[in-house]
Amino acid sequence: MQRLPATLQLFVPALTLALVFAVLLGVISALRHGTVTDYTLTTLSYFGICMPIFLLGLFAQEIFGVWLHWFPTSGTSTYGYTLDPVSAFVDHLRPGY
């Protein structure tokens, strides 16, 4: 139970993002069936399915954590501080630098 909040914090946004992108790209591909757009999206989808998840994770960490500074590259909170629950929640949402 101690690890459930961190698991949900990762799982819910990831699943929501994946569903939104999958449905959106599927609709676009269906509307443009047989065109270059359809073949491009199908190729990108197959590439995403075939890519090892650990490699995708490393790429995402490099891009979103190191280059863009949107997410921390390790941990879920600022190291060395004990915060109240509200401040801890805000600290989890803040991008890491």
User: What is residue 29's predicted lDDT score, i.e. its pLDDT?
Assistant: 95
Same domain, 92 and 71: yes
Judge if 60 and 97 occupy the same domain: yes
Lookup: tokens for 72: 């921390």
Whether residue 38 sits in one domain with residue 69: no
Same domain, 45 and 14: yes
Work out how many domains the chain is built from and give that number: 2
End position of a domain, from candidates 50, 71, 88: 50
Q: In the chain, what percentage of residues exceed pLDDT 70?
A: 87
Report the candidate in 74, 72, 93, 73 with the shortest Cα–Cα distance to residue 83: 93
Do 57 and 71 fall into the same domain?
yes
**Half-sphere exposure at residue 42, Cβ-oriented, CA atoms within 13 angstroms:** 11
How distant, in Å, are the alpha carbons of 24, 37, 64 from that of 95?
27, 34, 10
> What is the residue range of 12's domain?
1-50
Q: Are residues 42 and 82 in the same domain?
A: no
Extract the residue ranges of the chain whose pLDDT is less than 50. Answer: 97
